[in-house]
Amino acid sequence: MLSPVILDPILRAALDEDLRGGDLTTEACVAPEATARAEAVARQELVVCGGAVFARVFELFDPRCVVEACLADGVVAAAGSVVWRVRGPAQSLLMAERVALNFTQRMSGIATLARRFALAAQGARVTDTRKTTPGLRVLERYAVRTGGAHNHRDNLGAAVMIKDNHIVAAGGIALAVERARARAPHTSRIEVEVKSLAELAEALAARADIVMLDNMDTPTVAEATARCRAVGRPPVGPLVEVSGGITLDRIPELVLAGVDVISIGALTHSAPAADIALDLYDA
């Protein structure tokens, strides 16, 4: 799922950024012939994510490094658990350490947060959004899936999603949907973002395939969902997605309101990095 073809350009750029000027400390203090082993340890409970990234960073930097995965991606690691081990030239372990941890701490943090939302949303699908770190979307979306949640559209060409600014620019919901239906591939569904029950009525009249209820309070979400169900359940009626201001505490009430999808930008843009440390030992 994360092949070297995808990973290598990202990881090489990160290594170049960190090591463009060399490593003054390691090169001064550590003998080139010294070898060592190291353990990546979870300092908190977390969902493991990024094993292939961790291994590939060390492999790219120095093929003599050997990495062992102690816990697979998707496993919940208790605080104190050894997640990965690596052995090889001590200089190489020290030089590649931060890049390997930066990626895996970020990915494990996203996976951990995604797991919390996914577990709370039994009966509804939790998805991410395109609010990702530029250049790192493929890693962050993988982390979301590892945590048990799902991905929304991958890029602007993946689906028709008519948002508020599209509606303004097109001259209204009906006209925007009509134009999208005339131009979009037959394989693409049409989603319309609505901010009120009046806009929902327009989207239903235009026969949108998916309606996104944006920044609505829970009673309004429940009413909007009921109106969609009156048209019919998918594929007769629209799929109901809710987004905007979604907190973990709101998930059960949104599920109770009957929505199909809950999209949460915070899964990627606000997930705290997981605490993982690399402890070095003599070989």
Classify residue 254 by its DSSP letter: H
Q: Which pLDDT tens digit goes with each residue over 120-156?
A: 998 899 999 999 999 999 999 999 999 999 999 999 9
Kindly state the percentage of the chain with pLDDT values over 90.
97
What's the pLDDT at 2? Answer: 86
Q: Is the pTM of this model over 0.85?
A: yes
* C-alpha distance from residue 1 to each of 50, 142, 267 (Å): 11, 8, 20
Q: Which pLDDT tens digit goes with each residue over 228-259?
A: 999 999 999 999 999 998 999 999 999 999 99
Q: What value does the mean pLDDT take over residues 199-217?
A: 98
**CA gap 20, 28 in Å, rounded:** 16
* Catalytic-role residue among 59, 97, 193, 241: 193
Q: What value does the mean pLDDT take over residues 193-214?
A: 98
Backbone angles phi, psi at 192, to 5 degrees: -125, 130
Q: How confident is the model at residue 103 (pLDDT cuts 50, 70, 90)?
A: very high
**CA gap 72, 241 in Å, rounded:** 32
**Nearest to residue 190, comparing CAs of 162, 215, 164?**
162
Residues 75-98 as b or e (16 or more Cβ within 10 Å = b): bebeeebebbebbbbbbbbbbbbb
* Catalytic-role residue among 37, 131, 137, 227: 131
* Catalytic-role residue among 73, 97, 199, 214: 214
Cβ–Cβ under 8 Å, residues 83 and 145: no
195 is catalytic: no
**CA gap 216, 247 in Å, rounded:** 13
Question: Residue for token digits 């995604």?
Answer: 114
Q: How confident is the model at residue 118 (pLDDT cuts 50, 70, 90)?
A: very high
What's the pLDDT at 1? Answer: 73
Beta strands in 65-171 (DSSP E): 66-69, 76-77, 82-89, 125-127, 160-162
| Tokens (6 digits) for 132 | 């990702």
- Considering the domain 4-117+271-282 in this protein, what is its CATH number? 3.90.1170.20
Q: What value does the mean pLDDT take over residues 12-16?
A: 98
Biggest CA pair distance of the chain = 73
Q: How confident is the model at residue 283 (pLDDT cuts 50, 70, 90)?
A: confident
**CA gap 78, 177 in Å, rounded:** 49
Mean confidence (pLDDT) of the chain:
97
Domain ranges of the chain: 4-117+271-282, 159-264
* Catalytic-role residue among 12, 37, 85, 98: 98
**CA gap 212, 265 in Å, rounded:** 14
Backbone angles phi, psi at 105, to 5 degrees: -65, -45
Size (the chain), residues: 283
Predicted confidence (pLDDT) at residue 186 exceeds the cutoff of 80: yes
Q: Looking at domain 159-264, what is its CATH homologous superfamily?
A: Aldolase class I (3.20.20.70)
* Catalytic-role residue among 163, 181, 195, 250: 163
**CA gap 264, 205 in Å, rounded:** 27
